[in-house]
Amino acid sequence: MKIDGIKIAQKILDDLKRKIIESKIVPHLAIINVGDNPSSLSYINIKKVKAKEIGAKTSIYNFLKKSTEQEIVDCVNKLNKEKNIHGIIIQLPLPENFNQKKIISLVKPNKDIDGFTSNSKFEYPIGMAVLEVLKKINNLNYKKITILGKGLTGGIPIKKTLQKNKIKVNSLDSKTENSIKIIKESDIIISAVGKRELIKPDMLKKDVILIGIGQHKEEDGKFYGDYIENKIKNIASLYTTTPGGIGPINVATLLKNLTMAAFFQLKKNN
């Protein structure tokens, strides 16, 4: 059975919209983008549309791939000081010639709504999105949960969030020994790799729960997940789709962090 990520996300967005209307506060999101990565531009547009839907404002700061790192640093520092900017995100991945870790670390903790800095005030949106799905699963403590991938924006933050919420997880990557055996024995698989059809039907146990994070945009302009729905739908008891699965929930939880950031900062300044 499909897990309807759009429905879960809409519930979060409706709640945020109500809170924003009641408070008369307009959260303001700043997005720094470098280059013209099609996937990044697509994600930015979705964030902009959904922010507008709840009554939040978005400002996008676009830089060319040939821009200097100092230009990006100056932009982050400027936005950190602006009181009308409540949340700052660096659209990842940055081009290889930029020090991604250094730039992310410059975002002030109370504006780091992606949760990437060590002292951020916010939980990872992707981790919260996965939690929203896991809340719908019975007897979670008795399930063997496996995360595929250890990436900065996927596997790592998801694992940290789940462990913080006292949920036991195992994580694998391409270097893990006996990975196929571990996957086959898993009750819940959270796949955050971004490789089309990484997970094949014969790798799964009957009634497994599949949560797909990773996605890959191909030449036809479509996004594909780590597994193909038609091939796993008769094996999995529950599964998310690509698109329409975790993606919409991730955007909603990001905007939840933005709204919290706006409320906290305005309360502090008053």
Residue 214: the pLDDT is: 86
Q: What single letter denotes the amino acid at residue 164? A: K
Residue 6: the pLDDT is: 96
pLDDT 10s digits, 109-120: 999 999 999 899
Give the mean pLDDT per block of 10 residues along the chain (270 residues). Answer: 95 98 96 91 94 98 95 98 97 92 96 94 96 91 94 92 94 88 96 91 96 83 86 96 92 98 81
Q: Judge if pTM exceeds 0.85.
A: yes
**CB of 49 within 8 A of CB of 247?**
no
What is the number of residues in the chain?
Answer: 270
- Of 109, 92, 88, 110, whose CA–CA distance to 101 is shortest? 92
d(CA 203, CA 9): 30
- Of 169, 92, 91, whose CA–CA distance to 130 is shortest? 169
Residues 6+ apart with CB under 8 A from 252: 8, 9, 10, 12, 13, 16, 50, 129
Residue 117: the pLDDT is: 92
Q: Give the helix, strand, coil percentages of the chain, each rounded to 5.
A: 45, 15, 40
Residue 269: the pLDDT is: 66
Identify the sign of the CA torsion 262, 268, 269, 270.
positive
Parallel, antiparallel or unpaired: strands 215-217 and 223-225: antiparallel
Residue 55: the pLDDT is: 98
Domains of the chain as residue ranges with CATH: 23-108 (3.40.50.10860), 125-247 (3.40.50.720)
Task: Return the half-sphere exposure (C-beta side, CA atoms, 13 A cut-off) of residue 47.
Answer: 32
Residue 220: the pLDDT is: 79
Residue 138: the pLDDT is: 87
